[in-house]
Amino acid sequence: MSPLVRWSRPDTGALFVVTGASGSGKTTLLREAFEVIPDLAFSVSATTRDMRQGEVDGRDYHFVQPDRFDELLAEDALLEWARVYDNRYGTPRRPVVDALARGQSIVLDIDAQGAAQVRESFPQCVSVFILPASIDVLETRLRARGTDSDAIIRRRMDQVHEQIGACGSFDYLVVNDDLATAHRTFQAVFLAELQRRSRRPSLVDRFANVS
């Protein structure tokens, strides 16, 4: 699919933090946004877990030893981090900052807890929460997958309530009721944010002083 718009890259990119409960359609919305909006990229997380067959260091993850992860934390070099079972995962700050300075925009697909850490460590980020049409609709979607037991679905629904309860802390709320409308609304957030005057000072220099 060709890009939705043709534009010059902004002088400074944006860090987008996208959160949504399981079944909200977040992955679908992100997939199309990457197809139609130029210069978006996912960040590459650092992790202490072992590399799996077929993975490439620096592409799939930055694989680091636990001691190095401790150093990154001590140096405030991570925008956010979390422990998942016996391993830790985090978003390195420097690659994100460097990408934004080049005019590239970075997307973090993380949960509400991680999003709160990013907002604290990088307040200029743009946070977007994907909401379902209703809690009942979301549970129906999870059950329609046919891959989880009732116990797992109940546990996920408990997590859903906890996640959605944090939506009031986000900059933008996108309700995924009608998918076509949700796509347009979600992409509109990206497009509008990337046209901010603060991200395009070169345009001000180019046009504001024309005599």
Nearest-angstrom CA–CA distance, 85 and 64: 16
pLDDT in tens, 44-100: 999 999 999 999 999 999 999 999 999 999 999 999 999 988 999 999 999 999 999
Exposed, middle or buried: residue 129 (CB in 10 Å: 0-12, 13-18, 19+)? buried
Name residue 174's amino acid: V
Q: What is the pTM of this model?
A: 0.88
Q: What is the pLDDT of residues 124-169, one digit of tens each?
A: 999 999 998 888 877 787 778 777 788 888 887 777 777 888 999 9
Q: Which domains does the chain have, with CATH numbers?
A: 15-200 (3.40.50.300)
DSSP tag of 149? -
Residue with tokens 């037991």: 149
Among 67, 53, 16, 68, which Cα is nearest to 37's? 16
